[in-house]
């Protein structure tokens, strides 16, 4: 894409960068990645500010291309580029085309009040006139996201002298002039008189005494005997035209070096005798333009893509490795070795000559990596497998990359990879890493854009400053950008489950969870949490039993009754990603959030999101299912025929008792049976496992006791089922909320009693009361304890960190559409129109603030020079290189007569402030006021 003159436009890299940001934003919307919003808006803010800064900085830039000296065919014609109106350093690209078919491209950073003229060498393969036919000056921002073309004043034609062929001068021969013998010619021997000074005369030949007396520059002329002169004649040369011209040029150069007088005689030029630099220069000009001129060669168009140096590649690979670093914590070790091994090998190739991996090797590594990931995860579509595969592909792409386009593609893919880390976590450390990774990748882009960045501002510093200035824009977008309440589409995020509350329960299911201290959810009651005995968090309900496992069933019968027996309590549940639909609700849930349902088993469920989610629920003491579906009651009495006959016989022996007494009989059997609460129970057989547990091992965890008790109740004729969920939770005094971990997973029993409905019975409490009163750890060591021990100093520090994490989750991670509308309503912004209006006003203000700081950074440090910079912006005309303020005022005044009085006043005040012995603040203030009054 070629930028139109005067218009700031995105580069191809900038357009792909914007597309990446938009795609990332769509993903964040769909998967409710709040931190992803933040990173996306930060990158978008940097993209916008880079364009605005370039537009403001480059608006007055003008370029002037000037010839810088003589040139000989086969060399580079020296030119210089003078820049006016550029007060800060910016990457530029200058493309120059010549009349002889040559093309040169210069890339570097330039700008600032003290910036010297940039040298430009234009190849001059042929003698003759050389004209710069076109020059294109393109400025870009530091990261190469935007570019703008600025005008360039072209120089006049220059003469390319022929390349001399070194050779000795021809012998001296007397030559006639008129009727007599020519006795003397211009030469270096004797004084012959004075003549007016001509450009090219040696300063040693200037009569400085005469110049001091009269003020006129005169040059001393000398002569020599005619016998010393040489005639450089076209007739004395042989061969093709260009060879003859080169031989004559060699003779001219030899005569100039030795000071020998000579006359050049070629067709159309009889030639006169002379000596010195000016005479030689005139002779070279005659030879340069001698007909016929050579035909311009056909020059192949060079590729416009750049080849980054080793420093740029090193920066890019380092930034990419840092962006991929979190993969080490969650992908298989073999994938980490393969990915970072490839990056290390690519980096080593920059330091020493090593063979590049062939396409077959790279393709084979990709296939093997994909096959290995598929064997580990069972798919390549989930988050874990997908991000690991993307990291491998990035390393493979880096290994085969060569051009700047490849490096920029790696930067874009690295930014995308960085955003995928939010699927694994959205904590403060993840946020810090992603911001640093984005800064590193943008710094690599700056290093690619400015090849001379090693001698200028480091790319990482430039990226950090731009991201810091984009923070207000990102914060406004984060707060005000409309957030939908649901996803745009639904796809599984991972092929593996992330929590232990499964669709079925077998012996050992919950004891495995008890060793996992990861947070399952946090519950904030806005006040005092419920007592430990009331912290039963209801999850899946298991009603079907086949002798080995308990599973859920879905019944579509009549809705059971729910009668509250106490006041409801509301709380906010912050659920960690788990990949399951269960909403662990305090028993019994009476109100669930929008999008969630309450099943006929009084189980709250919603669609899993795969991300941390916040829900508002309400629970209350209640009688559940006083009127229940007979089919369900019958289902909860069924037992596999012939299974565990001793336990069945025990339960049947209680059948004559009233139902509540049967329950108490079962609990009494457990209390008096010398049972042990343990995480390491013996393995139970496939058949008659209830008998094996009750009359054999007598060692188990909650699922063992719940399964055995439910079996006994069914044998006794009492409908019974198992409820899975969590029990307890640790109160965090730093935030007055409950932390429920995976190790708090628990299973208990519900029995149905006429007139009471489903009644909770916890058989584990009969064995280890501490499981209800304290926690799992206390129940394992002191089963009869009535309370948990006081937390240690380390535990208190951990709770403090968790409080910070919870606050972060509330304010940042959990900032969804509902919370956004609530926050905006508190400041009087209600409705979509008001929200969009507030967003537009905020973006304008934040953008103006960021541009103010950018201008402050780009403005010259000298207050007087800064005032001249402001003057140029108000008039729209930059100061030319070396142009004085007086000349500038006259030039602009001629273009804008209405500004002439104001410009003259600025000129006078500037001179007074600049050259006064002690100008003081008053003079500078008056100068600034005069500049501000210009319109």
User: 132 has which bridge partners?
Assistant: 98
Q: Which residues contact 779 (CB under 8 A, 6 or more apart)?
A: 677, 768, 770, 771, 785
Q: Which residues of 183-215 are buried (b: 16+ CB within 10 A; e: fewer)?
A: ebbbbeeeeeeeeebeeebeeebebeeeeeeee
Cα-Cα-Cα-Cα torsion 637, 638, 639, 642, nearest 10 degrees, comes to 110
Q: Where are the alpha helices (DSSP H) in 673-809?
A: 689-692, 702-715, 763-767, 770-773, 776-781, 793-808
Q: Do 106 and 196 form a contact (C-beta atoms < 8 A)?
A: no
DSSP designation for 810: I
**Cα diameter, the chain:** 160
Q: Using CA atoms, how far apart are residues 505 and 518, in angstroms rounded to an integer?
A: 20
Is 746 catalytic? The answer is: yes
With beta carbons less than 8 A apart as the criterion, state whether 136 and 153 touch.
Answer: no
Q: Is 629 a catalytic residue?
A: no
Q: What is the distance between the alpha carbons of residues 613 and 328, in angstroms, rounded to a whole number?
A: 26
Give the active site residue among 691, 746, 802, 869: 746
Length of the chain, please?
935
Here the tokens at position 27 are 């993903």
Measured distance CA(207)–CA(510) in Å, rounded: 109
Q: Which token pair is 902? A: 């104001």
Count Cβ atoms below 10 Å from residue 791 Cβ, excluding itself.
Answer: 13
The closest of 560, 422, 584 to 499, measured between CA atoms, is 584
Q: In whole angstroms, what separates CA 38 from the centre of its chain?
A: 12
Joined together, the tokens standing for residue 127 give 């003698």
- The H helix count followed by the E strand count for the chain is 28, 38
**Beta-strand runs (E) in 113-179:** 118-124, 128-130, 132-140, 146-150, 152-153, 158-161, 176-177
8 A C-beta contact, residue 815 and residue 441: no
Alpha-carbon distance of 275 to 273, in angstroms, equals 7
CA atoms of 36 and 476, how far apart (whole Å): 15
Other C-beta atoms within 10 Å of 839: how many? 17
Identify whether the C-beta of residue 354 lies closer than 8 Å to the C-beta of residue 300. no
Return the ∠ at Cα 854 (arms to 850 and 859), rounded to 5°: 150
Q: What is the spatial order of strands in the sheet that 519-524 belongs to?
A: 589-591, 613-619, 569-575, 519-524, 737-741, 730-732
CA dihedral 7, 12, 13, 14 (to 10 degrees): 40
Per the annotation, the verdict on 28 as an active-site residue is no
Catalytic residue, candidates 201, 688, 762, 810: 762
Tokens for 472? 């207000």
Active-site position among 279, 688, 702, 704: 702
Catalytically annotated residues: 702, 746, 762
């Amino acid at each position: 894409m070629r930028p139109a003159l005067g218009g700031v436009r995105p580069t191809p890299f900038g357009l792909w960068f914007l597309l990446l940001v938009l795609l990332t934003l769509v993903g964040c919307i769909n998967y409710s990645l709040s931190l992803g919003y933040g990173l996306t808006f930060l990158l978008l803010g940097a993209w916008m500010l880079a364009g605005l800064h370039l537009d403001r900085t480059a608006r007055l830039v003008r370029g002037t291309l000037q010839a810088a000296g003589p040139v000989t065919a086969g060399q580079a014609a020296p030119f210089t580029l003078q820049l006016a109106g550029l007060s800060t350093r910016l990457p530029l690209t200058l493309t120059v085309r010549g009349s002889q078919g040559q093309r040169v491209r210069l890339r570097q950073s330039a700008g600032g009040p003290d910036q010297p003229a940039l040298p430009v060498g234009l190849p001059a393969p042929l003698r003759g006139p050389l004209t710069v036919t076109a020059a294109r000056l393109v400025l870009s921002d530091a990261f190469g996201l935007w570019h703008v073309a600025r005008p360039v004043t072209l120089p006049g034609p220059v003469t390319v002298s022929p390349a001399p062929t070194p050779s000795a001068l021809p012998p001296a021969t007397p030559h006639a002039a008129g009727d007599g013998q020519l006795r003397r010619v211009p030469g270096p021997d004797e004084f012959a008189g004075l003549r007016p000074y001509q450009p090219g005369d040696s300063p040693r030949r200037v009569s400085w005494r005469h110049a001091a007396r009269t003020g006129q520059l005169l040059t001393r002329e000398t002569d020599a005997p005619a016998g010393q002169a040489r005639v450089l004649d076209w007739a004395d040369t042989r061969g093709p035209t260009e060879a003859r011209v080169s031989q004559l040029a060699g003779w001219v150069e030899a005569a100039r070096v030795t000071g020998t007088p000579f006359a050049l005689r070629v067709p159309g030029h009889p030639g006169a005798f002379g000596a010195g630099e000016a005479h030689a220069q005139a002779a070279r000009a005659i030879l340069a333009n001698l007909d016929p001129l050579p035909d311009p060669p056909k020059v192949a168009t060079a590729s416009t893509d750049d080849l980054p140096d080793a420093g740029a590649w090193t920066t890019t690979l380092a930034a990419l490795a840092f962006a991929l670093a979190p993969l080490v914590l969650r992908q298989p070790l073999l994938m980490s070795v393969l990915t970072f091994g490839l990056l290390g090998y690519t980096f080593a190739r920059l330091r020493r000559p090593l063979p590049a991996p062939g396409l077959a090797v790279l393709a084979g590594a990709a296939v093997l990596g994909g096959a290995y990931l598929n064997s580990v995860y069972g798919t390549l579509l989930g988050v874990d497998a997908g991000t690991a595969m993307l990291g491998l592909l990035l390393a493979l792409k880096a290994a085969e990359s060569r051009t700047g386009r490849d490096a920029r593609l790696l930067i874009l893919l690295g930014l995308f990879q960085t955003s995928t880390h939010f699927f694994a976590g959205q904590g403060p450390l993840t946020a810090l890493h992603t911001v640093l990774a984005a800064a590193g990748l943008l710094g690599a882009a700056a290093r690619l854009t400015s090849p001379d960045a090693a001698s200028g501002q480091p790319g990482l510093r430039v990226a950090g400053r731009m991201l810091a200035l984009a923070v207000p824009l990102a914060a406004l977008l984060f707060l005000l950008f409309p957030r939908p309440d649901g996803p745009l589409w639904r796809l599984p995020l991972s092929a593996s489950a992330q929590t232990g509350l499964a669709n079925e329960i077998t012996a050992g299911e919950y004891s495995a969870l008890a060793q996992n201290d990861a947070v399952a959810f946090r519950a904030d009651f806005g006040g005092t949490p419920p007592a430990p005995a009331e912290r039963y968090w209801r999850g899946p309900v298991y009603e079907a039993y086949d002798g080995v496992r308990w599973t859920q069933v879905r019944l579509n019968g009549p809705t059971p009754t729910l009668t509250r027996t106490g006041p409801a309590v509301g709380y906010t549940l912050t659920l960690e990603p788990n990949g399951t639909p269960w909403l662990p609700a305090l028993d019994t849930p009476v109100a669930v959030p929008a999008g969630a349902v309450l099943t006929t088993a009084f189980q709250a469920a919603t669609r899993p999101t795969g991300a941390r989610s916040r829900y508002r629920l309400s629970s209350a003491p209640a009688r559940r299912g006083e009127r229940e579906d007979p089919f369900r009651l019958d289902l909860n009495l069924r037992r596999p025929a012939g299974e565990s006959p001793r336990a069945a016989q025990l339960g049947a022996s209680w059948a004559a008792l009233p139902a509540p007494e049967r329950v108490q009989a079962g609990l009494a059997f457990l209390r008096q049976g010398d049972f042990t609460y343990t995480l390491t129970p013996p393995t139970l057989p496939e058949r008659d496992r209830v008998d094996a547990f009750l009359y054999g091992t007598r060692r188990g965890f909650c699922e063992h006791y719940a399964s055995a008790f439910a079996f006994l109740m069914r044998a006794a004729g009492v409908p019974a089922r198992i409820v899975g969920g969590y029990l307890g939770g640790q109160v965090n005094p730093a935030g007055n909320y409950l932390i429920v971990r995976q190790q708090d997973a628990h299973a208990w029993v519900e029995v149905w009693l006429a007139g009471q409905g489903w009644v909770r019975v916890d058989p584990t409490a009969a064995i280890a009361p501490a499981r209800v009163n304290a926690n799992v750890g206390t129940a394992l060591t002191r089963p009869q304890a009535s309370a948990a021990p006081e937390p240690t100093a380390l535990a208190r520090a951990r709770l403090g960190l968790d409080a910070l994490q919870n606050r972060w989750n509330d304010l940042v991670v959990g900032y969804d559409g509902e919370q956004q509308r609530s926050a905006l309503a508190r400041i009087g912004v209600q409705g979509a129109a008001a929200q969009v209006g507030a967003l537009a006003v905020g973006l304008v203000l934040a953008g103006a603030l960021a541009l103010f700081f950018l201008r402050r950074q780009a403005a010259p440090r000298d207050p007087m020079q800064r005032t001249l910079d402001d003057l140029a912006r108000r008039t729209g005309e930059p100061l030319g290189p070396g142009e004085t303020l007086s000349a500038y005022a006259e030039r602009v005044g001629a273009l804008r007569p209405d500004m002439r009085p104001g410009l003259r006043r600025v000129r006078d005040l500037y001179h007074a402030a600049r050259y006064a012995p002690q100008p003081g603040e008053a003079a500078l203030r008056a100068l600034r006021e005069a500049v501000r009054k210009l319109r």
